[in-house]
Structure 1
Amino acid sequence: MSDQPASQPVLFETLQTASGHRFGRATLNAPASLNSLSLEMVDLLNPQLAAWAADPHIAGVILDATGEKAFCAGGDVVDLVKAIRALPPGQVPPWLLPSSSANMSWTCSSTPTPSLSCAGAMAS
Structure 2
Amino acid sequence: MRTAICPRAHDPITYGHLDINEQAAAMFDRVVVEEAAKACKKVYLQLEKRVELARSACGNLSNVTVKPYRGLVVDFAMQEGATVIVRGLRAISDFECEMQAALMNKKLAGDIETIFLITATE
Larger Rg: 1
- The structure showing larger relative contact order (alpha-carbon pairs under 8 Å, at least 6 residues apart) is 2
Is this a same-fold pair by TM over 0.5?
A: no
TM-score bin, normalised by smaller chain? 0.3 to 0.5
TM-score by length of 2: 0.34
Which one has a larger percent helix, Structure 1 or Structure 2?
2
TM-score by length of 1: 0.34
